[in-house]
Every structure is written in structure tokens, then in C-alpha cells.
Structure 1
Amino acid sequence: MPKSSRMRPRLLLAVLSTVALALAGLGVPGSAGASAPAPSESSRQYTVTGPKNAQQRTEVARTGAAIDAVLPGELTISAIPSEVAAIKKLGFTVSRPLPAPKPTPGASATSYHTYAEMRQEVDSVVAANPQITQKFVAGKSYEGRDIIGIKISDNVATDENEPELLVIANIHARERLTAEQALDYLGQLTKGYATDTRVKNLVDNREIWLMPMVNPDGQVYDMTSDTQAGRMWRKNRQPNPTSTGTDLNRNFNFKWGCCGGSSTNGASETYRGTGPESGTETKVIANFVRSRNVGGKQQLKMFLDIHSYSQLVLWPFGYTTNNTVPGSMSADDEAAHRAIGTEMARSQGFTPEQSSDLYITDGSTNDWTWGEQRIFSYTFELGTNTFYPPPSQIDQQVQRSREALLKLTDYADCPYRATGKQDQYCKA
């Protein structure tokens, strides 16, 4: 649940920051500064003027730059100098780096949940709702932090024959609002269980798996800052051959590195890793998804990866602009994805589209969960125009997606119900 109204005393903040920095300097395993080596090129934000369509945006993405936001005829990107030079060679105009977001007076980075505070929040909710919630550890991050998950269901300790869904957040470290949305969803389900018939129905008839911070090392590193502006860190903190970090959302084992939708440069924001699932956290997520394949049948029917920012609902595929792919995405599959995505986006005031309508990506969570595991898959892009919205906006932003999350949960029983084809695909 958002906690924007709760502020730490400045003295405690100072002490915690000093301890964190001291640990980093000592190279203590699991501390925010334990990773090495330093990047050979530094990434900064820029505005790119000129790209007008998906093909031109893909040309920009193929340089390795991360596209942070898409506006008419303009992009916000995060890029290293060599990528900036490549974009200029394409004939587009690249502005001077955008100024870093300014801290809100009186606010601090801890107005958002830190990793430690997320764990405390989860422990508190599970302790208060033992009949419908159960905490689990999906695995360890590169620096040894627990990747925390929560199962939500009636008879929570039993693996029942019920439709399942998985929601993950904070795969990109700087996208702090995403963890707040995930924790708010946990609050929706637990607080509403006793009073809201719709929520009770969903919890009683689904097995819901939630992972609020799947990139804890990156999140901790990004939050090692004395202002809300953070470090603008996107990747995990695993050393690579030339720099630090892998873009976990380009590291999954479906069409990995196939199509110019990721980078081979270790300093790049979209570095895809040395191979599929080479990122420690990618492997943890993928192994959990595979663990839900019981008796040769994948139990997960719905998947959501929460990102920020841009106010979008996206679905597969990202590696190709084709709406349908023989053997991978039939016309009925695409129609059901589109119908649910459009319905959710309408409730949020977001724009619904296939991932590749933005630009080509490869090795993404959505492409893997659908392409490899046949789980209906979506991405939410929350927020407005920054990775670090003022803490005062947290409540307002997460409220926008509450209804969409309930719709997603509802459709886990049979996504084809959205197009009236439930008897064809879901009849027992």
C-alpha cells in the first residue's frame, strides 16, 4: 500500500544512508555497492526529435538506447554516448541531456517503499491475513537478496485446481511506482476480502502469485540517494564483460537477441546478457513460471509485468510487427489478447497496443511467457512523464489501475471469454 504520508525523521535517514555507503565502500556482499566493474560509458536521458512511426522508433531502439517515453514525433531515451552518435547518424535530432528530476521539498527517496520496507509490509499483511496469504521466496538475486513473493488464495497452503496468475513488478530498478502498484494490489485483495463480494469471489476462485520487487539489487542501488531523483538505474547489478548490469527484460529465452531489439554492449541500458537467462533474477522468474507446470500443464493462465512510464497496456509480440504468427499467435489468441488489453486500458485511461506497435524488442517477459509458456501476457506502463513521480502522486497513480487489475484477475479463468469463445477453448 502506498505510504506517501509517512516520512522518516531526517536524522534516521542520514544514519541509514551513512551505514549503506559505508557497507558499499567495504564491498560487503549484498550491499548496494558490492557490484563491479564501473560502466565504461555513462547513460543519460535525452530527447530525440524526428521519429514518427514504429519503424523509425525501432531504428532508434536498435542502437541500444532505451526508449523511456513515446510522444508524437519525439522520444525520451536513456543512452550512452556511442548510441547518441548512432542516433544522430540516422538523421534524428538529439537534444542536450534532460535535467534530472528535482526533489520535492520535504520529500526523500524513502517516501517510496525501500526493499526493507517492502519486506516489512509483506510480513505485516501476511501476519494479518494468514488464511488467504502466504509469503514465499522465489530465489536469490545476484547480490544475495531474497526475491519475495506472496500467494493469495483461500486455502492458501493447498495447491488447488484453480486458475492462476502471476504479477511481477520493479524488473527495471528505477521504475519505483511499479512496486507501489503491486503492494496496492495486495492491499486491494486483502482489505477487500471481508467486505467486497467481487474481491472475495476472485480470491476464493483463483491462485494469485505476486512479486513486488524482482530486481532488488537494482532497486536498492537506485535508492542509494538522498533525494527522490535516484540514480536512474535500470538493470540488475550483475557484472558483465565490460560493465555492470543486464536488462532483465531483454534476457528471456524466447527470440533472445533475434531482431535488433536489444544490445550487445555491456554499458547499454538494453544489454541483453551473455545468453538467455544469464541474469540471475531472470532465471529465478523463469524457474518459478516453469515450476507452475504441473503434470505437463501450465497452471498460470495470466501474467502481468508492471512497468513505468507512458500510460500503456501492451501485449505480445514485441519481436515482430505481425499480429499473428503461425504456431505462436493465432487470430483467436490475438483477438483475446487485444480484447482484454483494450478493456483494461479503457478503465485506466491508457492506450492499448501490441508491444511492437511501439518498437521492436526481443527477449522480453511478455514474449517468453506467451511464446514459450502460452500464458496470456500483458505489460502495464504506469505514470506520466518521469520514473520518479512526487510521492504525493503515488495514491492517485495506483488508483488508476485498480479496476484493470481486478479485470485481469477475473479473466484468468478463461481469457477467450473476452471474445465469446470460452466454449471452444475452456470447456472442461
Structure 2
Amino acid sequence: MHTLRRVFAAAAGVATVLALVAGQPAGAQEPTAPDQGLYQVRGADTATSRTAVARSGVDVLGARDGTMEVVASPAQADALRAKGLTLDLAGDWLAMLARRSGGVSRAAAADFPAGDEGYHTYDEMVAALQAAASAHPDTTALSSLGDSYEGRDIPIIKISDNAAADEDEPEVLFTCNMHAREHLTTEMCLHIVDRLTSGASEFVNSREIYVVPSLNPDGSVYDISGGEYQGWRKNRQPNSNGTVGTDPNRNFSYKWGCCDGSSTSPSAEDYRGPSARSAPEVAALQAFVDSRVVGGVQQIKGHIDFHTFSELVLWPFGHTFDTVTEGMTQAEYDHFKSIGQQMAASNGYTPDQSSGLYITDGDINDWMWGQHKVLSYCFEMYPSSGGLDGFYPPDEVIAEQTSRNDGAVDILLTNAT
């Protein structure tokens, strides 16, 4: 199974991949385009052209080094080709999902698909946080942001030398699993909890650190439902047209829907929702951050929101290509860039302003800075590319790819003052 996932992840040999998917020899005529095709898009070499791709309604999986990976219908693929872009079909998205899950269906999602049991399910994640709180009662405090749409608790754990008290120390927030299929990020947040509670960091004595391992528990549970990967991104909140899901990372209040950086279509993967903070998960996170304004001063000074994939360190703003604009001075931008470059140097990621990828609006990083002036970054984790396998890397990489960010986490903690 792991061998197959690496075959699909390989960037070279698109014809060979087609042969694997279509069951015909390499070099044979390209099969009829599937209803949901995985494509490599070439020619989108600028942020403007990548934004045009993102605005076309396709599901953008990742973007790096001039190539975007998207899931598109035949009509969407034809429309992008008409814009002068080159699209290489890499496979049938739904067939690849089924094959990636090993073809094993279980009635209930008791665990991840066979071979990936090293990932934490929602229940296992909650149990891990409870165990950490029980083992370290003086330095941890486990609580809740509130409930998801389907009624699941959204746990948040505080780590500090005197966790029960609200001390006058800089606060730092780490959030993960905003998008359901990005399970490696939950492991990243759990790794942060484990490292900081094990006494490996001096920051526990000088910071109050909050960690939210899953901001989208409903979507995460659904994504492994039946023991098969679903490729699900959004939350599980029903829409008026019968579809399901709002993209939480297009639903935050700052500049919500301002700049054509999200979709008004409920069927779209980047659907912004009917109104700002309409997703209960987003409303819960915003309420928590708002509550950390004490005496008129925001206590949270630094934040990283972890995503997969593309190996990027991104900073605000996402809603505009401008660096100096409303809410961002040159000195503030330079500060963001300097720290972002330091973190990227520590983990080998590529640093950039968020809009350098493509325009987004209503995302968490723009809201954290635009509303609260929190030094907020988006990390796109391992791998640098990979199509379907970019979201479902083998569990053998968890330890290496989470510890890879230890230095970057420490750099943010150092600069959160």
C-alpha cells in the first residue's frame, strides 16, 4: 500500500500514472476524462494566474514551483485549457481514493485505513489530551472551545508553568486540522503538546501556550468514515441547496468575501458560508481569541495554523497582493517576513506572503492579524507535492515531519512578546 502511494506521488511519468489508473499501457490514448480528475496544472506561474485557477471552482490541492495540483470536472479542465494553461491528467480522483484506502470498507471508522493506524482518530486525539492533562496537572489545563456542528467537543489545552492561573505572560496559539483531510496537522499539534509537557522547552516557564489539535472534528471523522478516505475538506454543516460543508478557512470575519478569494457556491470546496463566522467551529475559535483581550490588550502574541501540503511558510495578507495596505505598515510587513524567513530556514519550507500563492479571503491568518494584530502564520506541511498522497502520507513519516518544525515553533515562541 505504501509502495502504491509513492507511485502516485511521483511527479514524473504522468503517462505511467495514467496507465496505472486506466489499466492500459503507457503511451496509449488518454482515457475519457473522469467526472473528478486529478490534474497537474502548468503555466500558472504568477500569483495572478494561480488566483484565476483558484477562482475557477476547482479544488486546489497544492501549489509549488509553478505547478498546481487540482481536482476538476471535464468542463472545468477545458475552461482552464482555454485560458492557455496546460493540464495533465494524473488520475481519477474517486478511483484513487478507493485504491488509496486499500479497498477495505468497515461499517464504522474505528481507525484509519489499514496501514495508517499510526494517525490519531478524533477519540484517540481526545484521549491523548486527557492523558497529557492527567500526567501534568500543574502545567496543563484541558478545556473546550465549544461544540462543532454535529456536537463534538473542540478541545483546547493550555500549557504553562502555572496553567490554572491567568498570568501576565505572552500567549501563543497553535491550531490544526481546519481542513478535514489534513490529518498530519493533528499529529503536529499533538507533537507540540508532547514536547512542551515533557519538559523539553524553556518556554513553558515564560509563555502561556494554547493548542487546538482539531478545529474541524466533524469533517475529520467523516474523512475516514467506513474505513476509507473521502478526500473531504470542509465542515459538515448542511447548506440550503442540499450540499454539505463550509470551508472554515474562508469563513472568518475579517474581509470576509471581500476580494473574490472564496466561493459563493455551496458546492465549492472553498465555499465561504452564508455569512461570516456562520460555521460554529469558526465562531468558537473567534470567541476564544476575542476573550483573550484583557484590559483592552490582546494577550495572544503569536499563532501558527498548520495545513497540508506544499511545505510553505505564509503570512498575511491573503486578500491582497499589496504588502503595505490598510492594516499593514511596511515595518509590520518586514517583521512578518523576517520571522517567516527564519522559520522557513529552520524547516526547509519556502517563505512567502499568503497572496503570493493566490488570493484568499476570510482566512484565519488575515483575521488574527487584521482584527487582533497577532503575529499569525500558515504552515503548509509535508510533502512539497503529491496529489492525493499529499493529504495522506504514510504514518511512518509522522515523527520526522512533526519534529521537523520544532525549531520553527521555538522561533515563533521566542518572537511572541
Same fold at TM > 0.5: yes
Contact 1:316 1:377 in 2 (8 A): yes
Cα distance per residue 1:255-283 (max 9 Å; x no partner): 11111111111111101100111111111
The residue aligned with 1:153 is 160
Structure 2 distance, partners of 1:187, 1:44, is 39
Equivalent position of 1:163 in the other structure: 170
Which residue of the partner structure matches residue 350 of structure 1? 349
1:178-327 matches, cutoff 5 A: 178-191=185-198, 193=199, 196=200, 199=201, 201-227=202-228, 230-242=229-241, 243-326=243-326
Classify 1:393/1:134 alpha carbon distance in 2 versus 1 (closer, same or farther; 3 Å). Answer: same
Query: Structure 1, residues 79-118: CA drift from partner, whole Å, max 9, x if none?
Result: 4566445423423233335352654889445331000000
1:398 to 384, 402, 405: 402
User: Helix, strand or coil: the match of 1:136?
Assistant: strand
Deviates more, 1:95-104 or 1:267-276: 95-104
Counterpart-to-counterpart distance in 2, 1:219 and 1:380: 19
What is the alpha-carbon distance in structure 2 between the residues aligned to residue 45 and residue 216 of structure 1?
A: 26
Q: Is the 8 A contact 1:225 1:231 kept in 2?
A: no
Residue in 1 that maps onto 2:127 = 120
Unaligned runs of 5+ in 1: 1-41, 414-428
Q: 232-241 or 59-68: which moved more?
A: 59-68
Structure 1 stretch displaced more, 402-411 or 361-370: 402-411
Please identify, of 112-121 and 389-398, the stretch whose mean Cα deviation from structure 2 is larger: 389-398
- Which secondary structure state, in structure 2, belongs to the residue aligned with residue 111 of structure 1? coil
SS at match of 2:117: helix
Letter in 2 for 1:347: S
Distance 1:56 1:122, change over 3 A: same
* Counterpart secondary structure, 1:154: coil
Q: What does residue 176 of structure 1 align with?
A: 183
Equivalent residue for 2:31? none
Judging changes above 3 Å, is the alpha-carbon distance between structure 1 residues 159 and 320 closer, same or farther for their aligned structure 2 residues? same
- Alignment RMSD, CA only? 1.9
Aligned-residue offset at 1:78: 3.2
2:247 and 2:36 mapped to 1: Cα distance? 13
Matches within 5 A, 1:405-424: 405-413=409-417
Which residue does the alignment assign to 2:371?
372
> What is the deviation of 1:43?
5.7
Distance in 1, Cα, partners of 2:275 & 2:81 = 29
- Deviation by residue 1:297-340 (Cα, 9 ceiling, x = unmatched): 111111111000000000000010111114x0111111111111
TM-score, normalized by length of structure 1?
Answer: 0.81
Q: Distance in 2 between matches of 1:111 and 1:103?
A: 16
Which amino acid in structure 1 is aligned with residue 182 of structure 2?
E
8 Å contact kept, 2:64–2:310: no
* Contact 2:237/2:246 (<8 A) preserved: yes
Letter in 2 for 1:141: S
SS at match of 1:166: strand
Please list, as runs of the form range in 1=range in 2, the aligned pairs for 1:322-341 lying within 5 A after superposition.
322-326=322-326, 328-341=327-340
The residue that corresponds to 2:57 in the other structure is 64
The DSSP-based 3-state class of the residue aligned with 1:171 is: coil
Rate the CA distance shift 1:264–1:79 in 2: closer, same or farther, 3 A: farther
Q: Distance in 2 between matches of 1:341 and 1:373?
A: 19
Q: Distance in 2 between matches of 1:276 and 1:81?
A: 32
Partners of 1:43 and 1:130 in 2: CA distance? 49
* Fraction of identical pairs, as percent: 44
Structure 2 portions without partners, runs of 5+: 1-34, 103-112
The 1-side partners of 2:131 and 2:36 are apart by: 38
CA–CA distance in 1 between the matches of 2:60 and 2:184? 18
Aligned partners of 2:172 and 2:303 also within 8 Å: yes
| Cα deviation, residue 134, structure 1 | 0.8
Cα distance in 1, alignment partners of residues 375 and 351 from structure 2: 15
Asked if structure 2 preserves the Cα contact closer than 8 Å seen for 1:251 and 1:282, the reply is yes
| Aligned partner (choices 68, 73, 76) of residue 75 of structure 1 | 68
TM-score, length basis structure 2: 0.83
